[in-house]
Amino acid sequence: MTRVFGQTVTCPKCHHIHTAETQFSRDVRNEQSLDSNFGYGVADIDCDSQRIIIHKFKCGGSREIQAMMDIEVKTRGADLSESERDTLHMRNQVIRNRRQTPTKEKRFESGRAPLKVFSLKNKKNVFLRHFGVHVLRFSHTSWTDSEWIEWDKQRIGSTALLSLLRFEIDADTMQRMDGRPHHLSKDRSQEFPEFKKI
């Protein structure tokens, strides 16, 4: 059975809690022919975070990377349902494009999404690093009013959260973000001709 919509907002004036659902979402949820009993699942993406990261090389020149990730936000201490966890796990495998190198095993490697995509705005192929799907949980509604914050089951503070959203730290490792190309092999250098050894 299709679940009751659970996302709510608190009115800043009257402090009452109201559902935060678009008309489209409400219509989909109420449409009997799209009931989850028949195998249908329609979900929203809570947060699609992105930023352009520019890495400057010591020898001059630079490289731009479009960094992206999807964030499932759970408020008031809620956790993922089994169905949500399964759907997000599958989505993560499709969109994540982190790779292992000969000297570095990526614990977070997943699918084989492209490393370069065409940008309509820039009218050219751009480097894309997609960090997949992450789960952000608040004890209340946001970092401003919560006693605790969890990022992928790890407790963090509001400063770390803002750094994650700005892509200053890696969403998987919680280390400083690194935009350098690593250990390009001869066959991979065809993908990145601008990084061939001279």
43-70 per-position pLDDT tens digit: 667 777 777 777 666 676 667 888 899 9
Looking at the structure, tell me whether residues 66 and 159 fall in a common domain.
yes
- Please say which residue of 29, 44, 59 terminates a domain: 44
Asked if 159 and 45 touch (Cβ cutoff 8 Å), the reply is no
Per-residue confidence (pLDDT) for residue 112, from 0 to 100: 73
Please list the alpha-helical segments (H only) found in 97-192.
Answer: 158-165
Looking at the structure, tell me whether residues 36 and 119 fall in a common domain.
no
d(CA 59, CA 138): 44
Asked if 132 and 70 touch (Cβ cutoff 8 Å), the reply is yes
d(CA 120, CA 98): 23
Looking at the structure, tell me whether residues 156 and 167 fall in a common domain.
yes
Looking at the structure, tell me whether residues 27 and 76 fall in a common domain.
no
Given pLDDT bands bounded at 50, 70 and 90, which one contains residue 197? very low
What mean pLDDT is predicted for residues 94-116? 71
What mean pLDDT is predicted for residues 115-134? 90
Q: Residues near 23 by Cβ (< 8 Å), separated by ≥ 6? A: none
Given pLDDT bands bounded at 50, 70 and 90, which one contains residue 154? very high
Looking at the structure, tell me whether residues 28 and 102 fall in a common domain.
no
Looking at the structure, tell me whether residues 50 and 24 fall in a common domain.
no
> Which residues in 1-157 belong to E strands, given as ranges?
8-10, 17-19, 47-56, 62-74, 116-119, 124-138, 149-151, 154-156
- Total domains present in the chain: 2
In this predicted model, which residue has the larger pLDDT, 91 or 41? 91
d(CA 157, CA 164): 11
Domain that holds residue 155: 45-195
Looking at the structure, tell me whether residues 63 and 32 fall in a common domain.
no
Mean residue pLDDT of the chain comes to 77
| pLDDT surpassing 60 at residue 4 | no
Looking at the structure, tell me whether residues 30 and 64 fall in a common domain.
no
% the chain with pLDDT above 70 = 71
Question: Is the entire prediction scored with pTM above 0.75?
Answer: no
Looking at the structure, tell me whether residues 127 and 34 fall in a common domain.
no
Looking at the structure, tell me whether residues 113 and 75 fall in a common domain.
yes
Looking at the structure, tell me whether residues 36 and 53 fall in a common domain.
no
Looking at the structure, tell me whether residues 49 and 36 fall in a common domain.
no
What mean pLDDT is predicted for residues 70-91? 91
